[in-house]
Structure 1
Amino acid sequence: MTTPADYGIIYNWDGAPHGYTELPQSMDQFLQHTYAPLQDTQVGALFWCIGEHASRWQSEGLELLGNEHGRVYENAYNYNFTENIRQMLERGEDPQAALVERGHELGLHVYASVRMNDNHFNGTAPADIPHLHHTEMTGLRRQHPEWLLGDETEEWYAASWNMSVPEVREHRFTHLREACERYDWDGVELDWQRHAFHLPEDDAYRLRYVLTDVQRAARQLAQRLAAERGRPFYVAARVAGSLEMCRRIGYDIPTWIEEGLVDMLIPAGNAATDPDAEVEQFVDLCRGTDIVVYPGFDGALAGVPSGPEDATTREQMSVRGIASRHYRAGATGMYAFNWHAGRDTRRELLTQVGSPKTLQGTDKIYAATHRFFQKEGEWRGAYRRDRILGQVPVALKPTMTGDGPTIRLDLGDEHTEKRQPRFQLRLRLDEWVRGDEVRIQWDGIELVSPDIRFDRGTDPDPIGDFAAAVWFRFDLDAAQVTAGQHQVKVALVTRNPQVASDLILTDAELVVT
């Protein structure tokens, strides 16, 4: 095995640039939309989604995108997106081939990203598959509802493939193999996290060997292609952010490492960013091998409130804090997923998070991770796979010993010769009123006299002076804020007796400015 180049940032495109130009899209327009966000940034590799279920090239073993409904589409977006691809093929053009060629011209490595079990079928049950008009629907899924997970997984993912079925694994491997053989990629990503529902819920750990079967076949394919092409063909795998959830889903990470079935591990969320990815544990498992670890980001931070900063500023500060923490834990670089962008949309972050050096001296938020659930509506159940040890929100209950929740904050090194930043601990309490008393400690030292401000979001002209949530703010001395783990204890002393609801700690964060 050889180690992939240090990519700095890996950028995953989901194929969206096909829909960024009105039909008919030229190849130049497609390539411009694809690479504009990446040029002159710290991105060293593009992972390109080759399609969810149907082929985007003329295939003998797969159904062509758009064929299932006779090129009649459920909405304007899918019409424009799919017909841009189809008409390129009809003109004798191949977007995958052109994409790889342009990436290599720009000095980037380009990987095929294969979504192993994508489910954007909007919670469709297997019984309703025959009636679903969806561009990514295939005849194979209609013909074999018995190959789907059904009631053996979360309701929203009932139409996902059951990977314990041999024919399903062969079908998904065919998609992967065709993509790899046809084009001059530098490697392939098995994106197991799109989506992380592969096996019957109660049997997933015991059936983990069937997912290893696919991973092993992918490695054997990569070895053959590397020998034929005379250069490395790397294998990446996007997996759950925690080793515990990897076990529960069916990813046998120790075996994958021991057998050398991956060159790169990408611990990530199934839905939204998982800031608590266990980077240090993944790095420790890979020690003594050539396998590298690239944690990173999805398009959103689940459960994070707006304010006190505006949403964009808060997201950027939070991303920089997460990246700094990951680097301190041993990450090789960062991975950006669903960062849909034009040339300048994400440029600031894409020129910062690819190296610990460029993160030095930037404003950051180091925040406790939210345990977030979507119990109703779209994507219900999707978030249960992620952030399983999220520390907030947590109700502050009376205790016999005066105890309360202890929140862990892991910090990067913020002290530099050029900058001595300001540090502020912020705690957000929901359902707070005068008469409530809490005791707050930073690393065992009690903090007193907080600056208390009502959280009225980012409204520049709020109508009222009161809000049911407040921010407690404490300025900390530089000597109190070192790289590594710190503990914040918040204990309820007295609850206003006229308020029946719980007092809830929704956020705990250290702000570096």
Structure 2
Amino acid sequence: MQVLIDRAHEKSMDFIASLRLGGYGGMNPDHSVSNGGRGFVHAEVRDHQRAIVEELATSYNVEAVELDFAAAPGGCAHCLNPDEADEQAAVLTDFVRDSASTVRGRDGDPGLLGARVYPTTDLNRRAGLDIETWLNEGLVDFVIPMSYSCFVLDAQMPIDWIVKAAHDNDISIYGMLQPYFHDGRRRNTNVEHASPEKMRAAASNYWQADVDGMCTWFMDWPLWDVQRRILTDIGDPDLSR
């Protein structure tokens, strides 16, 4: 990872280390929610993930650490068993609070802490994510509402509630642009990357929703002129109009 960090810094870019929290290889597999376990209710799981957050924040010269709570169910298991997620939400809030203290309190420049969360209050509640408390207490510096369950570009994601809640607490929020498009004639994802025009249109909607920046992923690789132009366009509100 240090090679990537150095390259980013050579290009005057910040580096954000992102951690998917529902996966923890090398531990007792019975702890995983996907195997019927209780996830972060197990102290061993919390301690393991705290140690990784500390390593990312202190052993590497990253500008931020991002806690990815939104990867489940598409990218990993849930952090809490859905049957008890609501009543165990404080477990994840305490984890975020501890992570904020670790990242911001490291030696040298304080780091930023971000979180990938779901786009609706109901989805977050069912996963045990008490977003309102995180924002009201200022536990995170930025949030990205998104879902891994669908890679189809969605220009109408219902994020007005979290945009307002974040800005009320001076916290940044970034819009997520999914990489593919669906023309309405197929039941599932058309595995073709969204055109620059579609990406600009979606970005324009997000800018109008008052986000502070854009995030995207899984772009066609390697990045050629078309992809580079997309990145340039979506990052500039004037170019996205």
Query: Into which bin does the TM-score normalised by the smaller protein fall?
Result: 0.7 to 0.9
> Could you tell me which residue of structure 1 aligns to residue 51 of structure 2?
174
Match for residue 318 of structure 1 among 176, 194, 198: 198
> Could you tell me which residue of structure 1 aligns to residue 175 of structure 2?
295
- 8 Å Cα contact 1:272/1:299 also seen in 2: no
State the 1:303 CA deviation: 8.2
- 8 Å Cα contact 1:269/1:298 also seen in 2: no
CA distance in 1, matches of 2:45, 2:183: 35
TM-score (ref. length: structure 2): 0.85
Unpaired segments ≥5 residues, structure 1: 1-95, 119-135, 150-156, 361-513
Size of the aligned set, in residue pairs, is 231
1:249-398 mapped onto 2 (5 Å cutoff): 249-273=127-151, 275=154, 276-301=156-181, 304-305=184-185, 315-339=195-219, 341-344=221-224, 346-360=227-241
> Could you tell me which residue of structure 2 aligns to residue 205 of structure 1?
86
SS in 2 for 1:204: coil
SS in 2 for 1:287: helix
CA distance in 2, matches of 1:333, 1:245: 23
Mapped pair 1:238 → 2:116? yes
CA distance in 2, matches of 1:97, 1:313: 30
SS in 2 for 1:261: coil
State the 1:137 CA deviation: 5.0
> Could you tell me which residue of structure 2 aligns to residue 116 of structure 1?
21
* CA shift in 2, pair 1:189/1:295, >3 Å: same
* CA shift in 2, pair 1:348/1:211, >3 Å: same
* CA shift in 2, pair 1:245/1:301, >3 Å: farther
Instruction: Give identity over the alignment, percent.
Output: 26
- 8 Å Cα contact 1:161/1:168 also seen in 2: no
Aligned-partner residue type, residue 295 of structure 1 = G
- 8 Å Cα contact 2:2/2:60 also seen in 1: yes
Match for residue 106 of structure 1 among 8, 11, 20: 11
Mapped pair 1:146 → 2:27? no
Q: Kindly report the root-mean-square deviation, in angstroms, between the aligned alpha carbons of the 2 structures.
A: 2.5
> Could you tell me which residue of structure 1 aligns to residue 39 of structure 2?
162
CA distance in 2, matches of 1:313, 1:148: 33
State the 1:295 CA deviation: 1.6
Aligned-partner residue type, residue 227 of structure 2 = R
State the 1:101 CA deviation: 2.0
CA distance in 1, matches of 2:183, 2:95: 34
CA distance in 2, matches of 1:353, 1:116: 28
* CA shift in 2, pair 1:314/1:179, >3 Å: closer
SS in 2 for 1:185: coil
* CA shift in 2, pair 1:166/1:104, >3 Å: same
> Could you tell me which residue of structure 2 aligns to residue 215 of structure 1?
96
State the 1:318 CA deviation: 3.3
CA distance in 1, matches of 2:162, 2:215: 15
State the 1:247 CA deviation: 1.0
CA distance in 1, matches of 2:227, 2:44: 41
TM-score (ref. length: structure 1): 0.42
Aligned-partner residue type, residue 3 of structure 2 = A
Task: Compare the two structures and name the one with the higher strand fraction.
Answer: 1
Task: Compare the two structures and name the one with the higher helix fraction.
Answer: 2
* CA shift in 2, pair 1:184/1:261, >3 Å: same
Q: Can you list the C-alpha shifts for 1:29-72, whole angstroms capped at 9, x where unaligned?
A: xxxxxxxxxxxxxxxxxxxxxxxxxxxxxxxxxxxxxxxxxxxx
State the 1:339 CA deviation: 2.6
CA distance in 1, matches of 2:121, 2:137: 17
Unpaired segments ≥5 residues, structure 2: none
CA distance in 2, matches of 1:325, 1:316: 14
State the 1:112 CA deviation: 1.1
SS in 2 for 1:341: coil
State the 1:311 CA deviation: 7.4
Higher radius of gyration, 1 or 2 = 1
Aligned-partner residue type, residue 221 of structure 1 = T
